[in-house]
Amino acid sequence: MKIAVLSTNKHLYSTRRLVEAAAARGHECIVIDHSKCYVGIRQGQPSIHYKGHDIADIDAIIPRIGASVTFYGSAIVRQFEVMNVISANPSQAITRSRDKLRCMQILSGAGLGLPITGFARTASDVDDLISMVGGAPLVIKLIEGTQGIGVVLAETKKAASSVIEAFYGLGSNILIQEYIKEAKGSDIRAFVVDGKVVGAMKRTAKEGEFRSNLHRGGTAEIVKLTRKERETAIAAAKAMGLTVAGVDMLPSDRGPLILEVNSSPGLEGIETATHKDIASEIIKYLERQHEVKQLSNPIVKRKIKKESKL
């Protein structure tokens, strides 16, 4: 197969590992900066160009779409889908997962455990919002934030009101969530590929910090998931329509609570903590999809039928 990793930076750990894993399994793998691609839309002739060339010879793509270019990146993935190219994650699922509010709504509708979450448009609803999530302390999140950016812990009702009103004053969309004290600054990331958990780690916030993101100085270690945590992670990825997903969960007295479902989960933390070759699991999934696609090809079907009669 010829595989393209859609990434704006070929030097990132996750991008490099995917290229290495593909090459190790005998595939040609290139890195394409999706932000520099452009599309052609004609009747029956969809196309994608990159650096002045038509890239019509790609068999499969692995989207590594950054939050800042979600709209354009998803459009490029859609164009590859129109061209019948296999994608590690569907474009629609990527778009869904990037909208934290929509993600929470979908997971709630699927009956999965979540921290109690509130969302409003104006500051006039602040008191009821705070009450809705169980009062302070509580967590305030920018809907567009990533890697722990735009996440604030408000320890008192007064502090929560001030922060919420400040965000509304800036025209920012935010979520208000209950604070799960029994998590003690830790969360669990389960890495799901094709309906299976292929690795899991426990992330713990550094001293004086409540955000466990590795980008915020948190530490990671391998963890054995409970049956409920495993089932929750798989169900969350399925509900979002993601084949490759990082499902972040908080341990709580009422079971695992989903914080986020990431469509472009980083590989460095999970591979370092678990010592597992997660990148190869993604390549293996593409191989299975490529085989299914080949078997559905009418020419291949006729060839198999002819050979079976011999």
CATH topology of domain 2-88: Rossmann fold (3.40.50)
Backbone angles phi, psi at 45, to 5 degrees: -135, 65
Rounded alpha-carbon distances, angstroms, from residue 53 to 15, 136, 192, 294: 22, 56, 34, 26
Q: By mean pLDDT, which of 168-172, 174-178, 192-196, 219-223 is the weakest?
A: 168-172
| Helix H or strand E encompassing 40 | strand 37-40
Q: Answer for the pair 127, 136: CB distance below 8 angstroms, yes or no.
A: no
Q: How many residues does the chain have?
A: 310
For 1-12, what is each residue's pLDDT tens digit?
Answer: 999 999 999 999
For 82-137, what is each residue's pLDDT tens digit?
Answer: 999 999 999 999 999 988 899 999 999 999 999 999 988 776 778 888 999 999 89
Backbone angles phi, psi at 126, to 5 degrees: -60, -50
Sign of the Cα torsion 126, 162, 251, 264 reads: positive
CATH of 116-179, one of 2.60.120.10, 3.30.1490.20, 3.40.50.300, 3.10.20.30: 3.30.1490.20
| Helix H or strand E encompassing 68 | none
pTM to 2 decimal places:
0.87
Could you report how far apart the first and last alpha carbons of the chain are, in Å?
29
Domain boundaries, the chain: 2-88, 116-179, 182-276
Backbone angles phi, psi at 289, to 5 degrees: -65, -35
Sheet holding 244-250, edge to edge: 219-222, 196-204, 186-193, 244-250, 257-262
Which class would CATH give 182-276? alpha beta
Around Cβ 53, how many Cβ atoms within 10 Å?
Answer: 8
pLDDT mean over 10-30? 97
